[in-house]
Amino acid sequence: MEQYMVEGGNPLVGEVEIGGAKNAALAILAASVMTDETVLIENMPDVRDTNILLQAMQSIGVIVERVDRHSVKINASLIHELVIEDDYIKKIRASYYLLGALLGKYKKAEVALPGGCNIGSRPIDQHIKGFKALGADVRIEHGLIITEAEKLKGSHLYMDVVSVGATINVMMAAAMADGMTIIENAAKEPHVVDLANFLNSMGANIKGAGTDVIRIRGVERLHKTEYTIIPDQIEAGTFMFAAAATRGDVTVKNVIPKHLESISAKLMEIGCEVEESDDAVRVVASRPLNHTHVKTLPYPGFPTDMQPQITVALGLSQGTSIVTESIFENRFKYVDELTRMGASIKVEGNTAIIDGVSRYTGASITAPDLRAGAALVIAALAAEGISTVDDIRYIERGYENFPEKLRGLGAMIEKVDNERDVKKFRFKVV
């Protein structure tokens, strides 16, 4: 089984280039099927989730041409099937974006219930509510979500909770509905805005994305476009906290600093220096880290996808910190792994109480999900000695060239897949 081997104790220093946003890419790739003309998408991250989605799209007749590793041409004029239920698509959460896209274009779609990381309950009730408000019939049969409508009509709906997935799905379906749709209590995340900009570049009429009220006037058809995906806010934040935990000096390049404000603010609270420029952020951790309190919230609050990374840094901070998870109820599974490395963390319900320790020590640890996996790699980089990180398939769902980018900052990390490689690594670093 493939794993990462990490020799910790070296500060990360240097520059790292951030790729395209995985969460934006998944929504935009799904939305690209809504026109019969060819769409060019650039700055697409080459990660497992995007590749699985492209494979699922090909299975229903979408023509996918990889121009290069980060650019893809998509033509959906020959779609011959509106049922997507292959084994791959069940592994990613974003499979449900094809519901909104296909329902908007063809007024019918059947997609396997989504998978993804087991970080807690992620109900689809708000998606169903939105589709029904537009006039669609929705039912779940044999593990499939089935949506169909004679025609879709604009509607005024209020989301009971802020849901990124439901906002994206309803926005896609409403883009080709008759009349005006108003989504209140909409999600404001950067990838919601990126999808709206993408759809508008294809001729949609969407206003208000990035606020809590989005207005969509439906159009009859969408046309070809060329579009560049925004940088990945979570990948950038991961490297920023890696700099903090390892007492390093890292400049993350190709970012939108505005998207990182809640992350930068917490880094400054715990004693890091943060310097922003037009498209880069530098994090310097030259002093001992301080404790703080943080609560995950929908954007522009502190992202739930950054909660494990800040917890790793706070575990090495002076004093007692409190991290409250308000989005998902099962997102502290990695704490047991951190405890094996010497962390002092007590979880009570949706809150982690962290007593900072002076160091972590190397251990054999397992990634329970995507973001926690990346956070455990950060912990291994900060620890004394050698660590192994198992189940790295989770990490590869959302981070492209993760070990290579870390090595570019001076990390000692290798991807190994057999006992001989493990022995070579140990010989090389001990």
Closest C-alpha among 278, 293, 407 to residue 12: 407
Please, are residues 412 and 419 in contact by the beta-carbon 8 Å criterion?
no
* Residues 51-70: b if buried by 16+ CB within 10 A, e if exposed: bbbbebbeebebebeeeeeb
**Alpha-carbon distances, residue 62 vs 35, 77, 78 (angstroms):** 11, 7, 6
Distance between CA atoms of 395 and 406, rounded to whole angstroms? 14
3-state secondary structure 15-46: EEECCECHHHHHHHHHHHHHCCCCEEEECCCC
Closest C-alpha among 319, 338, 333 to residue 387: 338
Q: Tell me: cis bond preceding 300? Omega within 30 of 0 counts.
A: yes
Distance between CA atoms of 328 and 418, rounded to whole angstroms? 35
Please, are residues 324 and 350 in contact by the beta-carbon 8 Å criterion?
yes
Please, are residues 265 and 229 in contact by the beta-carbon 8 Å criterion?
no
Task: Measure the CA dihedral 168/169/175/177, to 10°.
Answer: -150
Residue of 117, 138, 146, 314 with catalytic role: 117
**Could you confirm whether 272 is annotated as catalytic?**
no
Tell me the three state secondary structure of residue 117: coil
Distance between CA atoms of 184 and 256, rounded to whole angstroms? 26
Closest C-alpha among 360, 302, 352 to residue 329: 352
Closest C-alpha among 264, 34, 238 to residue 152: 34
- Which residues, 6+ apart, have CB-to-CB distance to 418 below 8 Å? none
Place of tokens 């700055």: 43
Q: Give the containing element (helix H, strand E) for 372.
A: helix 370-382
- Classify residue 385 as left (phi > 0), alpha (psi -120 to 50) or beta: left
Distance between CA atoms of 60 and 70, rounded to whole angstroms? 22
Q: Which residues are catalytic?
A: 117
